[in-house]
Amino acid sequence: MEMFWQIVVAVFIVLLSALAILKVYLDSIKGKCTSSTDLSGKVAIVTGANTGIGYFTALDFARRNARVILACRDLVKGQEAVEKIRGQTGNTDNVVIKLDLSLMKSVREFAEQINKQEARLDILVNNAGMAGLPLTKTDEGFEVMYATNHFGHFLLTNLLLGLLKKSQPSRIVNVSSMAHRWSKGIDFDNLKAEKSYSITDTYFSSKLANILFTRELARKLEGTGVQMTLCAVHPGLVQTQLLRHLPLHLKVLEVIITYFWKTAEEGAQTSIYCSVSEDLEGVSGKYYVDCQEAEDQSSDLSKDMGLAKKLWEISEKYTGLAEQEN
């Protein structure tokens, strides 16, 4: 019996040592934005900026002296974030404006306000995201997760594109995920959960859509003379509220997440890098991980420009953008 417990203790020590080594390795490969770019006179919008990656992205922009607009669904939490940012940076030129990306009406109202009140827009970070949500439909007929993760940002970007072009060279950063690699593709007959719904498949597909949207917009702007950097990013495995809708029996994952995953501040680094780094001037339509280009880590589906074109067309139709342009 004594020998048994000695073996158990030895195995436990080896396991802890292995976990510690893994932790050191994971920390060593985390990307960090080292750019010292000053954003004085620039205007930036960050969606979902009241918490997590979005908050630390907005905080960094404020430290760089930008005017920062926090686009948030919850104005109370958004204002709390604004006050924190002001207190930590001394920059008082940041505000919260209501935006619910799952509702196209809200997206249009937000964009209309921005286009009226802002003389320029230099950086748009489409950061807000949702995962693990049971099937929920909006009054407009959209499934909430896909609407928040893709359709809302698609419409928002297009409605603000004129202002971004006017302010060129400008930047658009779409926060995707390595989870796009697990997507089986885009089911164009089920984007509103018309036939069926899977929490995981919907999330994976919406993250694939983020990259396809980035690539198709870059293609559309190619050769037009517009100076705009468009990036899709994987922030890493991050300790955020993204998984807050997971069922109780999966909450044990939080222990693992807290130990191994990035902090929200670390997760914001690639978004920040793509927004400010001088190295990315003139680069567009690429995928980034840990503050470096990672096209080899994006799936074949995410590079399918025929798929990207079809997604753009149906997104125009579903969001009403096509009618507006005609």
Question: Where in the chain are the domains?
Answer: 40-325
Residue 282 pLDDT class (50, 70, 90 cuts):
confident
Catalytic residue numbers read 203
40-325 CATH fold: Rossmann fold (3.40.50)
Burial (Cβ within 10 Å: 0-12, 13-18, ≥19) of residue 128: buried
pLDDT digits (tens, 9 = 90+) for 145-196: 999 999 999 999 999 999 999 999 999 999 999 999 999 999 999 999 999 9
Mean pLDDT of 263-279: 93
pLDDT for 326 beyond 70: no
Mean pLDDT of 96-101: 98
CA-to-CA separations, 57 to 126, 198, 207, 275, 288, in angstroms, rounded: 11, 30, 19, 9, 16
The helix (H) or strand (E) run that includes residue 37 is: none
Question: Is residue 286 a contact partner of residue 293, using CB atoms and an 8 Å limit?
Answer: yes
pLDDT digits (tens, 9 = 90+) for 109-121: 999 999 999 999 9
Please give the Cα distance from 73 to 100 (Å, whole number): 5
